[in-house]
Structure 1
Amino acid sequence: MEKLKEQICKIFDISQEEASIFLAEFKKKEVKKNEIFIAEGEICHVVGLIEQGLMVCVYNKDGEEIIDEFGFENGFITNYYSFLTQTPSLKEIRALEDSMIHIISRQSLEVLGSQHPFIERMSRIMNEKLFLRAHERIKSLLLESAQERYEKLIAQRQDLARRIPQYMIASYLHVKPETISRIRKKMSNTTLLT
């Protein structure tokens, strides 16, 4: 939990005491590999903070999974659209690995926000970060090649290729798995030449 506290302090520029107040309301939960955290069709009433493990957000279209996002250690995980609008989730969030998550309910978060003004600031910062991340993802899909998107993803998370199956990375990047194979081969040939 100390690592999470440090991360919260860093992301939101808050004190250790404020981070402790915020994290005290979270409840620890183990989520086993392939277990669903938020089901498609369910209204999302919780926000998770991943201490350990890996999560995936998936849309299902005509029996095909379309990867929207991955959730890693020290990061938040939720269906924020469903959480804000209180409408049924159009995607599923499940564990790709055995995971340890700290969860806070919408109600607890609202009570906390009414008691501590710094929570409102945290909420604003989170909204800004989510907007910027969504903007970068859309821009990347529109303007960058498959190889540029793959290289950027791997640069951000070096452990991805080891932890996530190739077909999921391909889905996330909106390319075919064979495209990822070609990119990896091209990259390894370039590495061998240098």
Structure 2
Amino acid sequence: MKTAPEKTHLEKLKSKILSYTKVPDAVLEEEMRYYECLELRKGDMLVAPGQFVHHFYYVAAGCIYYYKLEDGEQKVMEFYTEDVFFTDLPAYVKGTPSNYFLKATEKSLVYAVKKSDAENSFKKSHELERFGRLSMQEAFMKIFTRVERLSSRTNEERYLRLMEKRPDLFQRVPQYLIASYLGITPVGLSKLRKRLGKGQ
């Protein structure tokens, strides 16, 4: 029997799927059987370079960050927080080893569905196939728009946008990771926050 918190998280997962397309109740209940609940501690790794990526994930609670190492430094691509689907899309889609990390920045609860199970469900249901396509498109666009922002906006513009759209990250994520995500140094971020009156 599922505990109350787990049932609550499952309901959120169902609602997220239904936000993409209508799915018959019986089909949706069958789909839930394929999702495995993973409890992660701070620092736990979902994916590391060299691994094959066989799962698509949903964040029920917590924060996962997506990054790579360049010359020994972490280059943060994205932060995935509550009510978001994610994976390492290049490795997942192409079936090649990952070049990235997916790691929990805090205690997190994630649901994982195997690629083979997901694809089988897509074959059985047009509604689930549509959900799969749209959720993967959304995951891709998160990375694409982040890269676009790095090339087309100033440091200040990127910082202010993050403050507006995702202010919670500044309390949940170390500042050096936020600096990496914004494409600036930790010192640069500190100076920017002080100049804009947000250094406290």
TM-score normalized with structure 1 length: 0.89
Asked if 1:122 corresponds to 2:131, the answer is: yes
Aligned-partner Cα distance in 2 for 1:149–1:69: 14
Asked if 1:166 corresponds to 2:175, the answer is: yes
- Please, which of 16, 32, 37 is the counterpart of residue 23 of structure 1? 32
CA separation of 1:130 and 1:51: change in aligned 2, threshold 3 A? closer
- Percent identity over the alignment is 28
Asked if 1:57 corresponds to 2:66, the answer is: yes
Deviation at 1:89, TM superposition (A): 0.2
CA separation of 1:135 and 1:60: change in aligned 2, threshold 3 A? closer
Gaps of 5+ in 2: 1-9
Instruction: Give the structure 2 partner of residue 79 of structure 1.
Output: 88
SS at match of 1:188: coil
Instruction: Give the structure 1 partner of residue 21 of structure 2.
Output: 13
Asked if 1:91 corresponds to 2:100, the answer is: yes
Gaps of 5+ in 1: 190-194
TM-score normalized with structure 2 length: 0.86
Asked if 1:2 corresponds to 2:11, the answer is: yes
Aligned-partner Cα distance in 1 for 2:122–2:59: 21
Asked if 1:109 corresponds to 2:121, the answer is: no
Which AA in structure 2 matches 1:153?
A: L
Aligned-partner Cα distance in 2 for 1:69–1:135: 10
The answer to which of 87-96 and 62-71 deviates more is: 62-71
- Please, which of 158, 182, 188 is the counterpart of residue 191 of structure 2? 182
Asked if 1:143 corresponds to 2:152, the answer is: yes
CA separation of 1:70 and 1:84: change in aligned 2, threshold 3 A? same
Deviation at 1:110, TM superposition (A): 1.2
Moved over 4 A (4+): none
- Please, which of 43, 48, 55 is the counterpart of residue 52 of structure 2? 43
Aligned-partner Cα distance in 2 for 1:23–1:150: 38
The answer to which of 21-30 and 51-60 deviates more is: 21-30
Deviation at 1:139, TM superposition (A): 2.3
Deviation per residue, 1:98-141 (Å, 9 max, x gap): 11111100111111111111122112222432343334223211
Deviation per residue, 1:6-44 (Å, 9 max, x gap): 23222x032472544433320111111111101111010
SS at match of 1:43: coil
Aligned-partner Cα distance in 1 for 2:158–2:35: 35
Conserved 8 A contact 2:85-2:139: no
Which AA in structure 2 matches 1:176?
A: T
Aligned-partner Cα distance in 2 for 1:67–1:41: 18
Number of paired residues? 188
CA separation of 1:92 and 1:134: change in aligned 2, threshold 3 A? closer
